[in-house]
Structure 1
């Protein structure tokens, strides 16, 4: 699977179509719940998804939306979590949520993370550090509970190119502003700069 993490403006028209197609197929048709699925909150969100590239027509097989908090509700929100039927018996959902948590920690490290979980998935989210805060209540015609995760360090097993790219930019800026020292120090700084990862092309999104 090809994992991607994109802001709304980074999505290509094909990727946006694939995401909306998957959300419609699973959250409306499969769940048999008629509602306005496009809710006007996509443009401020981060979109985390996996493409199945084994077919001639790649499709989204896992997806989650990550929304930042605000002054009223400071928690970061993970919603619209879905996986294709072909990937519900493996660890795809766990990887999906772990990717979302890694990105949340990178962008909003001091914000807790909130999500709504189907009642039968409570133990799954507890393993990832969430705890129940309210519910059950009906959502999409199914019983859900509210869960929250405190702002702790993201799992080390999940690589996050966003962090490496930003650290590279910070290091280069610090090197440019530092006073000139001895020739040995200058050569050392140059070697460190050459070894730093390069910035990712923001038009391509971030492959996880």
Structure 2
């Protein structure tokens, strides 16, 4: 069972920050073999949606209010520990992130920059493609919007 907490940057414990950065690095840098600047100065403005299993960070997203990243509210850095993906925690963390946008920002429109191979996953969460595919850090991405 996934326990999900939503926190501002200031509310994160040092251990939580370390753990979520470690998970992001494990997946986005090591697993996906992508050299990019993950620590980008945007975490301080984000809401952090963290999925814990047995007190270990296994799923995560960061959420921005409209205007911080895109015109719409946005969800990014969507990540699930490779050993935990069989449990479908990606759905749980995304549903919690959509709810966080609604409850914290009173917004129903959300834009994401999705890795193209995950289009179907996001389609099941009612996100729809907008625009053309593009490369971000050498990985094919597509803009997707949720209208709530």
Q: Same fold (TM over 0.5)?
A: yes
Q: 1:12 to 1:73 in 2, by over 3 A?
A: same
Of 65, 77, 83 in structure 2, the residue corresponding to residue 68 of structure 1 is: 65
In the alignment, which residue of structure 2 is the partner of 1:27?
A: 28
Would you identify which runs of 4 or more consecutive aligned residues in structure 1 move more than 4 Å? none
Counterpart CA distance in 2 for 1:51 and 1:79 is 18
In the alignment, which residue of structure 2 is the partner of 1:59?
A: 56
Partner deviation per Cα, 1:73-126 (whole Å, 9 max, x = no partner)? 431110100111112222200011000000101122235101111222112211
In the alignment, which residue of structure 1 is the partner of 2:18?
A: 17
Q: 1:71 to 1:125 in 2, by over 3 A?
A: closer
Give ranges in structure 1 of 5+ residues lacking alignment: 153-208
Counterpart CA distance in 2 for 1:128 and 1:39 is 27
Larger relative strand fraction: 2
Give ranges in structure 2 of 5+ residues lacking alignment: none
**Count of aligned pairs:** 147
TM-score, structure 2 as length reference: 0.91
Counterpart CA distance in 1 for 2:68 and 2:78 is 24
In the alignment, which residue of structure 1 is the partner of 2:120?
A: 123
Counterpart CA distance in 2 for 1:102 and 1:25 is 26
Bigger CA radius of gyration: 1
